[in-house]
Structure 1
Amino acid sequence: MTYLIESISNPELETKLKNKINLKTKPIGALGELERIAFQIGCIQQTENPKIENPTIVIFAGDHGIATKGEVNPFPQEVTSQMVYNFVNGGAAINIFSNTNNLNLKIVDAGVNHKFPEDLDIINAKIDFGTKNYQDTPAMTLEQCNKAFNKSGDIISKLKKEGTNTIGFGEMGISNTSSATLLMAYFTEMPISACVGSGTGLNSEGISKKQHILSEVYNKYNPQNATEAMCTFGGFEIAMLTGAILKAVELKMVVIIDGFIVTAALLTALSINPNVLEYCIFAHNSNEKGHTKMLEFLNAKPLLSLDLRLGEGTGAALAIPLIQASVNFLNDMASFDTAGVSGETKD
């Protein structure tokens, strides 16, 4: 599958953006990371006057075969479908944060092991009723994986046509930290022991057991590329996240990366097309053990560090006001000339 993803590099525009930022009524660099974000968004949108339009959080939900055994997850698989209903009813953290920051919220059934009512306010993109247990067999077929990529791409294309140019991603799926751990180990070549964490709340004994199980799974297979790795270790929601990231970047949208699971999907997308990274803003540093190492591997600078490990896109939702503020200062803050303020003196 090919995605037409262009680099955002444009030396002439970059010089104009740097000058515009530096001539605002402040010392050079005084707005720190907001200056970096404003510059990046200007480059993504190829303009000196970027805009954040109709920002949207999309949550992909899916179930994992390994969860049925309950060996790597303290919560039962049924929690995935229960949380989808909670999202629809407005009771989850992501609902609160989306409402607080005036964000659109879309819920996608990527592969939950539950038959939802047809009139439920979600996007039905179900690939299957959960993946297979990768302790026994690869999680999904190549056909299912490509179908997940395509379906999520169609969702993003529709949002773009409806006016969204900034998109944050979230997920829901009991045991999806296990899939993310396996994908992290594959793409970073770090040992499972460096990648595995507590997920939804395992104690030290549970983490040790999870590490042992995932090490056995990892050593069982030898995927040859990113798509094979997703077929082997992934979840339908993580495959859809990967396809969604790739399509959003192809459409030159600003992409806000949430926590551990979404970053695992990003690692997959990067292996397919390395230009993806230029379009991504990292919302936060999750409290899930492997996420800090993922960010270091990517040389990424997250905006927030709040010890979050909930998922759902909560970090992305909290970061969007800062991203909006970076664009607003670039567009609306006075320059030294327009404000009649003296700039820095030169020796």
Structure 2
Amino acid sequence: MTESALTEAYIRARLDAQARPPGSLGRIEDLAVELALIQKRATPCADRIALLLFAGDHGLTQEGVSAYPAEVTQAMVATFLAGRATANAFARAVGVQTTVIDAGVAADLSHPDLVDAKMGRGTRNAAREPAMTVDETTLALARGAAQATAAVARGADVLALGEMGIGNTASAALLMHRLAPAALDDCMGVGAGHDAAGLAKKRAALVRAAERSDAVEPFEVLSQFGGYEIAMMAGAIHGAADRNTPVIVDGFICTAAALVAVRLRPETRRVCLFAHRSAEAGHARMLQVLDARPLLDLNLRLGEGTGALVAAPLVRAAAALLSDVASLDDVMGGRL
């Protein structure tokens, strides 16, 4: 079977010929089709899934957009590297290798297992000035693509995205506001845990940021409002698409990165597998804009790639469906 002959109809015919009622595995069959078409293989593989966890800080935290101080980003990176965060526990449970990447944490970090891709000590305050320069935005996208390329070179069949960055739900809301597009109030949520007063403060900061710039072109929107970790995740999707590698997209912030990636390069939408519908306000709308059907709906809103990790076994099962299941003809013909 050549790549040019690999079509959805061919893959579905193979699934329908298996030793079970046609269509009996519902969304798993759809996922198997997606994997085959992304990898351009009649028997896709998802044995080796790699989580790329990008961390970065945001100048927007100066406006009080988060219930937590920026120092929590650095503390959580240390927790990832110690193997004690929720993402680490989930990754071990589902057999996923995790790579932690410093995209722009506002601290000097050093650890043998930390990938140093630091763009700076956090972005600028997007409520007052562009979060990133044009050159920084270009470089962050390129560094993200390079991380995806390196993971595939290390043998990853599928990538998963995760993030850590205090204030990044605010950045993601601004990106959604301009790129969906959607009303700002429809893009905002409690993030890591705001009360009513905190949410009002966050909204005021986002309004100031939105009023400061009228950017609508995707690259400019990313420069004005994005984060180093968000830009690198968008770049990672581009890099994965160039290598026909599926990407499991986590929650609200990762989906904002996917929205950026797709607005910059529409053809890269084909590699995105959306793990879950998070509890963060705006995520359901953003998934709708991307014509995405999430695999799970578990009321998650942690980030870190946790939703992508929970979805990883479903992706593996879908790949196995096309590689390991006998056809009805083989069963009835005694050819097993």
> TM class by shorter-chain length?
over 0.9
- Which of the residues 25, 35, 41 maps onto 1:47? 41
Q: Cα offset for 1:294?
A: 0.6
1:273 has 2:265 as partner: yes
Q: Which residue identity does 1:308 align to in structure 2?
A: L
Q: Which residue in the other structure is 1:65 paired with?
A: 59
- Which of the residues 251, 263, 267 maps onto 1:259? 251
Q: Cα offset for 1:10?
A: 5.3
Q: Which residue identity does 2:38 align to in structure 1?
A: I
Q: Which residue in the other structure is 1:214 paired with?
A: 206
SS of residue matched to 1:331 = helix
Q: Percent same amino acid among aligned pairs? A: 37
- TM-score using structure 2 length: 0.95
Q: Distance in 1 between matches of 2:189 and 2:69?
A: 18
SS of residue matched to 1:170 = strand
- Which of the residues 87, 104, 108 maps onto 1:111? 104
CA contact (8 A) 2:191 2:280 kept: yes
- The one-character-per-residue Cα deviations of 1:39-88 (angstroms, maximum 9, x if unpaired) are 1111112221111142100010000012134x211100000000000000
1:21 has 2:21 as partner: no
- The one-character-per-residue Cα deviations of 1:125-175 (angstroms, maximum 9, x if unpaired) are 000000010111100101111111111222211111111120000000000
1:34 has 2:28 as partner: yes
Q: Distance in 2 between matches of 1:49 and 1:116?
A: 42
Q: Which residue in the other structure is 2:80 paired with?
A: 87
- TM-score using structure 1 length: 0.92
- The one-character-per-residue Cα deviations of 1:181-230 (angstroms, maximum 9, x if unpaired) are 00000011211001100000001232223122212211210224211111
Q: Which residue identity does 1:99 align to in structure 2?
A: R
Q: Distance in 2 between matches of 1:66 and 1:248?
A: 29
User: Gaps (5+ residues) in structure 1?
Assistant: 1-8, 342-347
Q: Distance in 2 between matches of 1:49 and 1:251?
A: 17
Q: Cα offset for 1:12?
A: 4.8
Could you tell which deviates more after superposition, 203-212 or 304-313?
203-212
Aligned counterparts, 1:288-299, within 5 A: 288-299=280-291
RMSD (Å), alpha carbons? 1.4
CA contact (8 A) 2:53 2:304 kept: yes
Q: Distance in 1 between matches of 2:147 and 2:319?
A: 26
Q: Which residue identity does 1:310 align to in structure 2?
A: L
Q: Distance in 2 between matches of 1:12 and 1:321?
A: 25
Q: Distance in 1 between matches of 2:280 and 2:216?
A: 27
SS of residue matched to 1:139 = coil
- The one-character-per-residue Cα deviations of 1:269-311 (angstroms, maximum 9, x if unpaired) are 1111111111111100111011111111122111111111000
- Which of the residues 159, 163, 172 maps onto 2:164? 172
CA contact (8 A) 2:178 2:216 kept: no
Q: Cα offset for 1:15?
A: 2.5
SS of residue matched to 1:16 = helix
Q: Distance in 1 between matches of 2:181 and 2:60?
A: 23
Q: Distance in 2 between matches of 1:82 and 1:283?
A: 26
Q: Which residue identity does 1:171 align to in structure 2?
A: E
Could you tell which deviates more after superposition, 218-227 or 106-115?
218-227
Q: Distance in 2 between matches of 1:47 and 1:35?
A: 15
- Which of the residues 302, 319, 334 maps onto 2:294? 302
Q: Which residue identity does 2:188 align to in structure 1?
A: V
CA contact (8 A) 2:141 2:235 kept: yes
